Every structure is written in structure tokens, then in C-alpha cells.
Amino acid sequence: MNHSQGAPATPTTPTAPAPPAPTTTFALEDSLPRVPLPSLEESCARFLAWCSPLLTAGELAETEAEVAAFLRPDGPGRVLQSALEEYDATKGVYSWLDTFWPYRYLGRRDRIALNANFFFLFQDTGRPQLERAAGLIAAALNHKHQLDRELIPPVVQRGRPQSMEQNKFLFSTTRIPGAQQDTVRAPYTEDWPGPSDARHIVVFFRGGMVKLDVLGPDGVPHSLDELEAGLRAVVEAGTGAPPPGADA
């Protein structure tokens, strides 16, 4: 029997047409949903789930008792949650986490390089160091060129666009030390509208810092050969006896 004829068609669910892909990097920033503020109960449950594997049975019981007291109708948790909700609803506040980064990162007074900064290592490819460094600089310049012109599309994960705001801090961002909390000087701000117009990088070699132009006066990146020649000049100028404890 041929089942291909006369068989009922398989019903299909109509799908909405996909929205047009944004063409600029920051096109969706104003339409992204706000970060949801968890309830007090949710926060406490997450806290207990996070610390449970780290505590002994006795420590966990003591912590659970403290959390229960924190959650009481007359406990401090209700007051703090109310203040957080009020802050989240304040005009000009984009998220209840707005102050988290300044306090968490700029307010730290321990060793940032070990406790807060991310870092990565490059696998040894066997290529000469200066040639490889010039290639990395050229790649970074190409990325900045596209970012400045907002040619990098917004990142989409699981069908949902993600904020691209942190890309504004990729280049020419400087951390300014402060007594209690540091500040940041960066482009895309009222004091520095638009992308960075800086044309140089800083090369570290044997404890020294050298300013090296990587863009011409017209904003066109120098060639790979020119970048490598500039790096070689830095190395040759610093090949004297390094200061004590300094490594190349």
C-alpha cells in the first residue's frame, strides 16, 4: 500500500518572520529588557545553595538560622529589599546592578591583577615574537576600525540579543587611582564623545614603557612591516642592562 497518496498533511505551526538583523553594534541597546530584580526569598535561597557545599553541617545550620532571621517580616532583609526596589525604579538607573561594578572592581584595595583581572596566554606557534606581536596589533586595529563604525553586529545567544555596551571600554580606557574608589576615563562619555581618536599603543619591554604610533595621521593603520619595524626599534632601544628584577 502506498501511504504517500491520500495521507493527511502533517499540520505545521506557523512561525513569525524573523526580525531583520541589526546592522549596527549598539542598535538594540535601548530595547533590551531590564535585568530582573530577584525577590528577597530568591536571593536567600540562592545564597544558601551557593554556600552549602562550603560549610560543615553545623555551619550550615547556623547560616540557615541567620538567613531565617534575615527573612522575618521585621528583619533587616525587608528593609534592604525595599531600598533595592526603590533604587531599581529610580530614573536614570538601568539596572539594580549599576553600582555593582564600580564597588566590586574600582573599589577593591587588594591585588587586582590576581583577584579581579582576567588574563589569557597564547599558545606558542613557533613564529618570531615581533612578527607575531605585529599581527596581534594589526588584528586589534581592524577590530577597533569595525567597532568605531559600528559594523560588529550585536551578539545573540539562544535567540536573545546581548548588550554590547562593554565594547565601549575595549580601547583607550584608563583607570584613575583614588583614595577610596578609583574612576575610569573612557570614550563614549560626555567628556569624550564617540570612539577613541588615539593613534598609539604602549609597548612594555624590560620594565620600560614606550609610546608607539600604530595609526597614521589620516587614521589608516600602519602595515605589518611598519608595525614590526616599530616593535624592533623598541627592542633595540631597550636591549641595554635591564633594571633589577625586570624581565623582557
Amino acid at 207: G
With a cut of 70, say whether residue 11 has pLDDT above it. no
Task: Tell me which residue of 42, 48, 39 sits closest to 67, measured CA to CA.
Answer: 48
Q: Which three cell numbers stand for residue 18?
A: 524573523
Asked if residues 172 and 181 have their Cβ atoms less than 8 Å apart, the reply is: no
What's the pLDDT at 51? 96
What's the pLDDT at 180? 87
Residues 6+ apart with CB under 8 A from 134: 224, 227, 228, 231
Pairwise pLDDT comparison (18 vs 28), residue with the higher score: 28
**Average pLDDT value over all residues in the chain:** 87
Q: Which three cell numbers stand for residue 235?
A: 627592542
Task: Tell me which residue of 189, 198, 64, 212 sits closest to 130, measured CA to CA.
Answer: 212
Half-sphere exposure of 194 (CA within 13 A, CB side): 5
d(CA 210, CA 226): 16
What's the pLDDT at 21? 58
Task: Tell me which residue of 114, 43, 130, 47 sits closest to 84, measured CA to CA.
Answer: 43
> Is domain 129-237 classified as CATH 3.30.559.70?
yes
- Put residue 108 in one of left, alpha, beta given phi > 0 → left and psi -120 to 50 → alpha: beta
Amino acid at 102: P
Asked if residues 96 and 37 have their Cβ atoms less than 8 Å apart, the reply is: yes
pLDDT digits (tens, 9 = 90+) for 79-117: 999 999 999 999 989 899 998 878 888 888 887 777 766
Which part of the chain has CATH 3.30.559.70? 129-237
Task: Tell me which residue of 190, 201, 227 sits closest to 144, measured CA to CA.
Answer: 201
What's the pLDDT at 227? 97
